[in-house]
Structure 1
Amino acid sequence: MSLAPRAVLVHRTTEYETLLARHGTHGQAAFFLSSRGRGIEDVRERHERNRRALAEVAAAVPLQWRQARVERADLDRFLFGPEDVVVVAGQDGLVANVAKYLDGQPVIGIDTDPGRNAGVLVRHRVADARGLLAAVDRTGAAATGADELTMVEAVTDDAQRLLALNEIYLGPPGHQTARYTLTVEDPEPAAEPQASSGVLVGTGTGATGWLRSLWQQSSSLLPLPVPTDPRLAWFVREAWPSPTTGTTRVEGVLSAGQSLHLTVESDRLVAFGDGMESDALELTWGQTVRVGVARTALRLVG
C-alpha cells in the first residue's frame, strides 16, 4: 500500500519572533525598536497575520493526509519524501530556499502577506490552499498545471553539488580578485584566463534580480531566458584585462547539455546559490567546477 501524501508546510521565523528570542520580552523588544525610531505594533501585527495564515493553511490539508512543518533554518536537516506536497507559506525567497532540497515534488506557494511580496513564486492566497491541495490529491500529487522552472547546478571535480533556483555565484568570498580559467562549450571548448569579481550563472527565474542588473549594467544584447526555458545566462563581473588575463568571454547563454567550466587559480573561491552565503562550496587552487542546467526542475503549481 502506498503512503498517503504528506503536506510539508515550509515557513520562516517572523521578525517579531526573532526580536523576542534576542531581547527576551515584548517590552524589551519594543524598547529596542523605539530606540531606533520604530514601533513594535506593526511588527507584531505582521507576525499575527503570518501565524493565522499558517493555521488556515494547515487546516486546509485533507484529513487523510499526513502533515509536517519545517522552518527555513532547518531545511538542510529535513528529509523530503517522494510523496510530499510542499506548501511554502511566506515570501518568494522562501520558495528559492526550499527548491534545492527537492526532487520533483510539487510546490504550492502561498502569499501570507499580500501587498508586501511580489508574488512571483508565492502565487496564491491562503483561501486558495484547500482547492489547490484537493487538485493535487486528485492527480496523485502530479500537480496538473505546474510550471517546470529551470534550475542551475554547480558540480565540482570532487563531486560536491550545489543547486539553485535563481543563480549561482562563483568568486571571492570578500573583495579580493578572483583568478581562474574560464572554459565555455560554444560549441567547441574555448578557454580564457581571467581576473574578475566573480561569475554569475542564472535562470529565467533569476532574470528579474541580480542577473538582470548585470545584464542592464553591461548593456547586453543577450536574450534573457524566461523561468521555464531550459537555458541559463551567465556574466563575468568586472573582468580585468592584463598581459595574462582576458576579457573576450564575459557573457553567454547555456542550453541544456552545455556547461561553463571554471578552474580555480586563487587560494580560495566560493560558490553559493540564491544569496545563501552560509551554504557555500569551498573551491581551492586547481579545483574545477562545472555549471549548467540542473537535471531537476522546480514544479511550481500555477
Structure 2
Amino acid sequence: MGEARWFLGISLHFDHEHGITTLSQAKFAADVTKRFGMDNCRPRKTPQDRGTILYKRTEEDEPAEDTPYRQAVGVLLYLARVTRPDISYAVNQVAVHASDPSKAHWVAEKNIFRYIDATKSMSLTYYRTTTEPHVRVYTDADWANNEADRRSVSGSVIQVFGSAVSWQTKRQRAVSKSSTIAEYIAVDDGVDEARWAMSLVVRLMKLDHVIPIPAMIGNKSTIKRLTNGRNSDAQKTVDCKFFSVREAVDNGELELAYCPTNVMLADMLTKALPTTRFRELRKALGVCEFTAGVGEVLEHPA
C-alpha cells in the first residue's frame, strides 16, 4: 500500500534520508481562507497585535450577526489544535466570544485569517532523534493581564524526543489572586497531558521503569513551594491542584526545573508577542516553512 500521504485532511511528508517528517494543513488553510473571503488579502506577520484586548460585547457594540463568526471559530480551532500552535493563543481569544461576538471580535478573527493566508505553507516538523528525556513539559501562565476580566491564561507544550506533540492555551476559570496560583493551575493542566504522553511512550518502547518528566516552569516561587513548601491559598480547587503536582514530584513522576523566559516555549501560548520573539518561538515549536513538495501538499488526491 505504500506510505500514507493524507490523513484526515493532513498532508504527510517523509524525508527518510534526513530523518524529517512534516504534517501540513496547507490545502485546508487555503480552502478556508477562500471560503471566508480572506484569500489573497493583506498579509500579517503575527495573528494578533500585542496589547489587543477583546472585551465582552455591550449594548453599544455592533453585533457580528451577519458574519460567519462561529463557523470560523470552528475551523480555526481545528487548525490550532492539529498543526498550528502558533495561532493557539489568538484563536482562544476569539473563541471566548463565540456566543455573542461584536464587529470588533470579527475584525480580530479576520486578522488570524490574514496571518494564515500568508503562512499557509507552514508545516509542523519532526526530526529523528534519540534526545533525552523522552517527554518534557513546558508550562506558563500570563497572570491577570487581560483587563477585560483579569482571568489568567495557561499555556503548555508537551515534547516527545524534543518535538512538540501536544499544546494548549486555556483561559483559567476563575481570577487567580497571585502569579504563583496562576502557575499552579498551569502546571497541573500541563502535567496531566504530559502523563498521557509518557504512558504512550512507555507502551511503545516497552519500558519497565518510571522515567521522571522534566517540568519546565517560568516561576521560581512556584517551584520552591511545590518542592518543599506549603500552599498558602485556602481555595480548595487550587489546593487540590497544588497537592496533585506535589504528589507527582514526591513519587518520582515529575522533576521541576526553572525555565527562563527567553527559552519558555509556552510563552507563545499565553500572550501576543512581538514579531521577532513570535518567529523565534514558532520555529522552536517546529512550525516551519515547508519547502519540499509545496505544490503536492496543495493538491489533495480527492
Structure-1-length-normalised TM-score: 0.28
Higher relative contact order (CA 8 A, sep 6+): 2
From the two aligned structures, give the one with the greater helix fraction. Answer: 2
> Which structure is larger by alpha-carbon Rg, 1 or 2?
1
